[in-house]
Amino acid sequence: MSGRGRTMLLTFDDGPDPRYTPDILDTLAKYDVRATFFVCGEMADHNRDLLSRMADEGHVVGNHTWSHPLLTRLGRRRIRSEMERTSEVVEQAYGELPRWFRAPYGAWNRAAFQLGAELGMEPLAWTVDTLDWTTPGTGTIVDRVADGAAPGVVVLSHDAGGDRSQSVRALRSYLPELLDSGYHLTVPRRRYV
Ligand SMILES: [Zn+2]
């Protein structure tokens, strides 16, 4: 991460979804904040305009596989295909190959690390899980981010994969709170190329 002090990363997985991602992008734009979107290839393929918007607005797009499988159950050839196809769509729609990879369910194995590296990607996990996919209520998501806030934290939320209206509303609430608390929300940067 760049900068010093109270820096955090916001990450949104599984999208993009035209029902939720534009709202999230609107909120980020309102506060001039950049975030990281770990997209699935099959979602990105159908929503290329949203990847283009992410590029225009300075967000980082990472690779979250094509179809969100549990990689630990797949052979190397299938894992490679899941990653490669997604990187291709990201390059076409976002304009650059993704530099970051996140395994679905956080389930990495040796092949996933190796193949990701071969495709020019670094792994990026998270440290605070909002568990927003369980739709625990907007207030609970806000509380989890507020309670977990600390320098260097990587927050996991989702902008697709089900009803994510709570995730959308929660961001509208916790983002200004984090900024008021002095946090700098940023995107990951490679230390070396
Ligand atoms: Zn996911």
* pLDDT value at residue 189: 85
- Is 68 a known active-site residue? no
> Catalytic residue among 13, 45, 132, 159, which?
13
Q: Is the pLDDT of residue 2 over 90?
A: no
Residue 172: per-residue pLDDT: 98
Catalytic annotation present for 26:
no
Is 93 domain-assigned?
Answer: yes
Model confidence over 63-104: pLDDT tens digits?
A: 999 999 999 999 999 999 999 999 999 999 999 999 999 999
What is the enclosing helix (H) or strand (E) of 122? strand 122-123
DSSP helix, strand, coil percent of the chain (3-state; round to 5): 45, 15, 40
Residue 48 lies in a domain: yes
Question: Is 1 part of a structural domain of the chain?
Answer: no
| Distance (Å) from CA 160 to ligand 1 centroid | 9
Statement: residue 35 has pLDDT above 50 = yes
Q: How many angstroms separate the alpha carbon of residue 156 from the centre of ligand 1?
A: 9
Between CA 57 and CA 75 the distance in angstroms is 36
3 Cα to the center of ligand 1, angstroms: 28
Tell me whether residue 2 is in a domain. no
Q: Structurally, how many domains does the chain consist of?
A: 1
Domain span including residue 155 = 7-186
Residue 155 counted as domain residue: yes
| 173 CA to centre of ligand 1 in angstroms | 23
How confident is the model over 105-150, as pLDDT tens digits?
Answer: 999 999 999 999 999 999 999 999 999 999 999 999 999 999 999 9
Which of 147, 158, 163, 184 is labelled catalytic?
158
pLDDT by residue (tens digit) across 45-74?
Answer: 999 999 999 999 999 999 999 999 999 999
Question: What CATH number is attached to the domain comprising 16?
Answer: 3.20.20.370
